[in-house]
Structure 1
Amino acid sequence: MSVLSILIADDEALTRLDLKEMLQGAGHIVCGESNNGLKAVELAKSLAPDLAILDVMMPGLDGLETAKIIHSMNIPVLLLTAYSQPNFINRAEKVSVYGYLVKPITERDLLPAIQIAYARWREMQDVRTKLENTQLELQSQKLIARARAILAAREKVSNYDAHQLLIQQAMNLRISVVNLAAQIINQAKDYLQEK
């Protein structure tokens, strides 16, 4: 497992110390520590850790609300708690945490939980990137199809010939087919508005 920079937030100083020793012993970097949720959010903003480990019960902003905010910063969260009741687990599920450990925490439990939480987060990042790329590709294909239809009607040629014309014009102008398609669509809109 790669070295991670980790933010720890727990209102119990002894727990923070134990966590820090376990994490540093495993080669990770504890980039920040907090005894409350608000400070943890501030540290997450300024330090941009690879992972945050939060206690559920903290003064001010509790761990679940803190997790929600930190998750919105695209930082994976692992929750620690002395509570294993279903209502805490259900709330944790809704704020998109990547792991949930019940105290007392041992190195045997903590290190695999960190590894799995970080791996799941990375998988989600990959899925999100693929989805964004797929959406961009779909938008590009729609633009090209609209431009091809405009060219086919304007030049009175088949869709195939319009597509070939689109490719040839893009090559001649040294721009992408998508950019040319956008230009053709905008020109067609301008033409229709002038009428």
Structure 2
Amino acid sequence: MGKLSILIAEDEPLTRLDLKEMLEGAGYFVCGEANNGNKAVDLAKQLMPDLAILDIKMPGLDGLEVAKILHAMNIPVILLTAYSQQNFINRAEKVSVYSYLIKPITERELLPAVQLTYARWKEMQSVQKELKDTQTKLKSQKIIGHARALLAKQYNISDYEAHQQLVHEAMQYRITLVERASQILKETKREEPHH
């Protein structure tokens, strides 16, 4: 895998410079820097970074508002704050922030946070993909089962025979089983008498 590209949004130039030096020193690529929330969102849309580090208090949109937007763009976020107030932490949890660091930030805290955040995010991606695949599979099985039942009833054959017929027709038409099942369901719908 190539270097992770990271967007930094922090309104204090000195803190921004420190972060950039620590990240680049560790081999990360800082693809963009913003000093306010609106610019951070614009840069994120342009650059599509692998990860974003946002200050909680910024002019324009604050870090949490930006985090919400980036979450919708599927970009993981680490928040920086000068406070460890509970209400901030509660808000951060609601916008799917992966990690937050309290200033002043040291390399010892920053680098593991970046690694962990990205690893957690990748894990989430894999879980979501698995869930989507499972949902697709279930939907397909439901369509196939429905078509099989229709065929069995229509030709007065067993479920097994209906399934074999479905497989045969799918191969004949050079399409997947679920595509043939969907066609059968559509054809049956069209043939149903309208009252």
Structure-1-length-normalised TM-score: 0.98
Q: Residue 95 of structure 2 corresponds to which residue in structure 1? A: 95
- Please state how far the C-alpha of 1:174 moved relative to its aligned partner: 1.2
One-letter code of the match for 2:27? G
Q: Residue 61 of structure 1 corresponds to which residue in structure 2? A: 61
- Please state how far the C-alpha of 1:169 moved relative to its aligned partner: 1.1
State how far apart, in whole Å, the 1-side matches of 2:120 and 2:193 are: 50
Q: Which runs of 5+ in 1 are unaligned?
A: none
* Cα deviation 1:141-178 (Å, max 9, x = unaligned): 00000000110011110111101111111111111110
1:25-44 alignment runs, 5 A limit: 25-44=25-44
Q: Which runs of 5+ in 2 are unaligned?
A: none
Name the SS for the 1:41 alignment partner.
Answer: helix
State how far apart, in whole Å, the 1-side matches of 2:23 and 2:60 are: 26
Q: Residue 163 of structure 1 corresponds to which residue in structure 2? A: 163
Name the SS for the 1:31 alignment partner.
Answer: strand
One-letter code of the match for 1:168? H
Name the SS for the 1:27 alignment partner.
Answer: coil
The answer to whether residue 121 in structure 2 is matched with residue 121 in structure 1 is yes
- Please state how far the C-alpha of 1:69 moved relative to its aligned partner: 0.5
Name the SS for the 2:192 alignment partner.
Answer: helix
Name the SS for the 2:100 alignment partner.
Answer: strand
One-letter code of the match for 1:190? R
- Please state how far the C-alpha of 1:45 moved relative to its aligned partner: 0.3
State how far apart, in whole Å, the 2-side matches of 1:181 and 1:123 are: 34
- Please state how far the C-alpha of 1:3 moved relative to its aligned partner: 2.0
The farther-off stretch of 163-172 and 35-44 is 163-172
Q: Residue 108 of structure 1 corresponds to which residue in structure 2? A: 108
One-letter code of the match for 1:10? E
**What's the Cα RMSD here?**
1.1
Aligned pair in 2 of structure 1 residues 22, 188: CA closer, same or farther (>3 Å)? same
Aligned residues: 195
State, as a whole percentage, how many aligned pairs show the same letter: 66
